[in-house]
């Protein structure tokens, strides 16, 4: 069975040495009293919960899956899931970053994000049950009426109730303008909602006493397309005026999806038959409200793959140090054994270092972005809030797509390290690969994220936000320009920054002539920009490691080696990607449809 050790040392490096989060957070009134000891203590306890409580039920939960009783429409999660959730609630973990007004602890989102990385490493399928609740909380916190907030937010904060997001229907996924679920107004101001939703993660279970579904549906007079979508709260059990639970609502699980991975999570087909609902926000403005939840989920999905990358790497390293096969080409490295441990072989090291670099780069990017999210939510400086919001919007599709693409590559590499054993369930590696694959699909496929980055976040404002982020990179390059020891990191970063600027301008000009050029280049473009962000953070990490390489702490030696590997072996991928971006639309559209 796979093992998991929370990567506390690297998390502390990212928070306290790379990002100086305490100093940054102290500038925000809500977090003026935060200190490193508190952050570290919370995460150390969170790591213990992840490793000791939910990691041991990951492999068994995958094998067992969820069971639907078609008579009662109730779903039983795998053995141990409900008991683990009870411990999670009793520990106060759902409330970490929630508003104290509703019973939350008011800690920075950054702390919650690092905690959830560990949960995802330990057990992604389990983590999705409480994870969806955060998105529902955020949507209602931003758009709910005072009455809705008073009714639902304390229960979501405590974890007594969980939440879902109900968007997709059998005939429409990303294109929500096509959805058909209907909401009929009632005399008392509520709505009767009828329709069908599919792919609803954590859509039915008995781990909490109520499930709060946020459902997209159309009013009778709604305009066609995405401008006619409204958002509704549809609880599994109706909630009485005094907050107690009432009758069973008309929303039921009609089936569970049979999936490639995340077997322990109940991915439900939900049927609404005149279910009672209340409107969130304004009529026909539901998509804007739902985007609050979707954006939180996109950061969360990136975090899922980061978690899987880390745990897959840990287990692959342990196996590579123990498994002996063949001799090193340069001669025996373990002459007292019949063969050398496979970690001596260069290509095994390449696979391991790829996973390590993707984990460390993803952790730096996630940490930085969620720190900006805390500023966007809590700063009392309007300009700082707006700048932070824009930067989070720019980096969110990169986190969702780049980190999940990397997670797929990394878990596959780590499975390969195990050879034939990696293909066997009991070792756990093939589960990480299967679980990682969904992360590239849901919450907007990675192609959708790429279109969002290039078409909306970059070209949509003539590159203004990207240029502002680029100026941070340029300032770092200028600062380190005369530091001889940093040239191996600064020079390729500067070169890539120049190429991204030129590529962006070129694609913008092409898009004026034919908007489909954006679709032809977007996926490769996002990967180029993703590498640029990783290179920026690895260069900063290398600067810190160089300053402390003689400290006697092997952590900095390893950090420097990982940074060098990233720049030498992974960053050069951008040269190919830039060429394929420039190849344009024609090679994709030349063949007639009939010839496919």
378 within a domain of the structure (yes/no): no
428 within a domain of the structure (yes/no): no
Please indicate whether residue 74 is annotated as part of the active site: no
Give 66's DSSP letter.
-
Q: Give the pLDDT confidence score for residue 289 in this predicted structure.
A: 81
Condensed to tens digits (0 to 9), the pLDDT of residues 530-539 reads 999 999 999 9
30 within a domain of the structure (yes/no): yes
DSSP three-state, residue 76: strand
What are the CA-CA distances from residue 273 to residues 168, 284, 352, 358, 370 (Å)?
17, 21, 51, 45, 39
> Are 133 and 184 part of one and the same domain?
no
> Are 33 and 69 part of one and the same domain?
yes
The answer, yes or no, to whether residue 45 has pLDDT greater than 90, is: yes
Average pLDDT on 563-571 reads: 98
> Are 215 and 169 part of one and the same domain?
yes
Of 118, 146, 174, the domain-final residue = 146
572 within a domain of the structure (yes/no): yes
140 within a domain of the structure (yes/no): yes
Catalytic residue from among 117, 138, 391, 443:
443
Average pLDDT on 14-41 reads: 97
Condensed to tens digits (0 to 9), the pLDDT of residues 274-331 reads 999 999 999 999 988 878 878 889 999 999 999 999 999 999 999 999 999 999 999 9
H-run or E-run covering 248: strand 245-248
The structure tokens 């982020």 sit at 469
> Which residues form the domain of 212?
162-284
506 within a domain of the structure (yes/no): yes
Q: Number of structural domains, the chain?
A: 3
Tell me, what CATH number does 75's domain have?
A: 1.10.540.10
Of 284, 299, 333, the domain-final residue = 284
Mean pLDDT taken over the chain: 97
> Are 142 and 166 part of one and the same domain?
no
> Are 182 and 102 part of one and the same domain?
no
Tell me the backbone φ, ψ of residue 182, rounded to 5 degrees: -115, 145
58 CB contacts (<8 Å, ≥6 apart)?
Answer: 2, 122, 123, 124, 125, 126, 264, 428, 431
Q: Give the pLDDT confidence score for residue 173 in this predicted structure.
A: 83
Condensed to tens digits (0 to 9), the pLDDT of residues 282-296 reads 999 998 887 887 888
Tell me, what CATH number does 236's domain have?
A: 2.40.110.20
Q: Are 375 and 28 in contact (CB under 8 A)?
A: yes
Burial of 370 (0-12, 13-18, 19+ CB in 10 A): buried
Lowest-confidence range among 135-144, 186-195, 395-404, 405-414? 135-144
């Amino acid at each position: 069975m796979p093992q998991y050790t929370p990567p506390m040392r690297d998390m502390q490096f990212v928070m306290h040495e790379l990002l100086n989060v305490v100093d940054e957070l102290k500038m925000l009134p809500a977090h003026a009293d935060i200190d490193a000891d508190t952050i570290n203590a919370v995460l150390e306890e969170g790591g213990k919960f992840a490793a000791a409580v939910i990691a041991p039920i990951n492999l068994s939960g995958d094998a067992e899956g969820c069971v639907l009783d078609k008579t009662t429409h109730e779903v039983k999660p795998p053995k141990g899931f409900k008991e683990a959730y009870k411990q999670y609630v009793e520990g106060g973990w759902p409330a970490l970053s929630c508003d104290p007004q509703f019973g939350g602890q008011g800690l920075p989102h950054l702390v919650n994000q690092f905690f959830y990385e560990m949960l995802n490493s330990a057990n992604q399928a389990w983590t999705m049950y409480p994870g969806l609740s955060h998105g529902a909380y955020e949507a209602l916190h931003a758009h709910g009426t005072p009455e809705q907030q008073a009714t639902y937010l304390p229960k979501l904060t405590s974890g007594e109730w969980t939440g879902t997001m109900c968007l997709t229907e059998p005939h429409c996924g990303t294109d929500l303008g096509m959805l058909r679920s209907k909401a009929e107004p009632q005399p008392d101001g509520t709505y009767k909602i009828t329709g069908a939703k599919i792919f609803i993660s954590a859509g039915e279970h008995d781990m909490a006493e109520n499930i709060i579904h946020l459902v997209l549906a159309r009013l009778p007079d709604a305009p066609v397309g995405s401008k006619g979508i409204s958002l509704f709260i549809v609880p599994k059990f109706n909630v009485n005026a005094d907050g107690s639970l009432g009758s069973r609502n008309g929303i039921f699980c009609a089936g569970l999806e049979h999936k490639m991975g995340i077997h322990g999570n109940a991915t439900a087909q939900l049927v609404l038959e005149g279910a009672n609902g209340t409107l969130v926000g304004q009529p026909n403005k539901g998509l804007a409200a739902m985007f609050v939840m979707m954006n939180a989920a996109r950061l969360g999905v990136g975090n899922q793959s980061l978690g899987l990358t880390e745990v897959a790497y840990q287990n692959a390293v342990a196996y590579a140090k123990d498994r002996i096969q063949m001799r090193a080409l340069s001669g025996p490295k373990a002459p007292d054994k019949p063969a050398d441990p496979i970690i001596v072989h260069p290509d095994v090291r390449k696979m391991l270092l790829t996973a390590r670099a993707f984990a460390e780069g993803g952790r730096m990017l996630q940490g930085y972005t969620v720190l900006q999210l805390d500023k966007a939510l809590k700063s009392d400086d309007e300009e700082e809030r707006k700048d932070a919001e824009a930067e989070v919007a720019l980096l969110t599709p990169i986190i969702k797509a780049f980190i999940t693409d990397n997670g797929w590559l990394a878990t596959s590499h780590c499975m390969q390290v195990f050879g034939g054993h990696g293909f066997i369930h009991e070792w756990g590696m093939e589960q990480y690969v299967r679980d990682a694959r969904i992360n590239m699909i849901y919450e907007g496929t990675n192609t959708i994220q790429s279109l969002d980055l290039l078409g909306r976040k970059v070209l949509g404002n003539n590159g203004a936000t990207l240029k502002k982020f680029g100026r941070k990179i340029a300032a770092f390059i200028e600062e380190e320009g005369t530091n001889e020891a940093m040239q191996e990191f600064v020079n390729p970063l500067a070169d890539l920054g120049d190429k991204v600027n030129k590529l962006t301008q070129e694609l913008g000009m092409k898009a004026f002539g034919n908007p489909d050029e954006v679709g032809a280049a977007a996926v490769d473009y996002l990967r180029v920009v993703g590498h640029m962000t990783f290179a920026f953070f690895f260069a900063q990490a290398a600067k810190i490691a160089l300053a402390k390489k003689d400290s006697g702490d092997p952590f900095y030696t390893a950090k420097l080696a990982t940074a060098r590997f990233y720049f030498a072996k992974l960053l050069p991928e951008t040269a190919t990607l830039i060429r394929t971006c420039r190849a344009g639309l024609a090679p994709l559209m030349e063949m007639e449809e009939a010839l496919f």
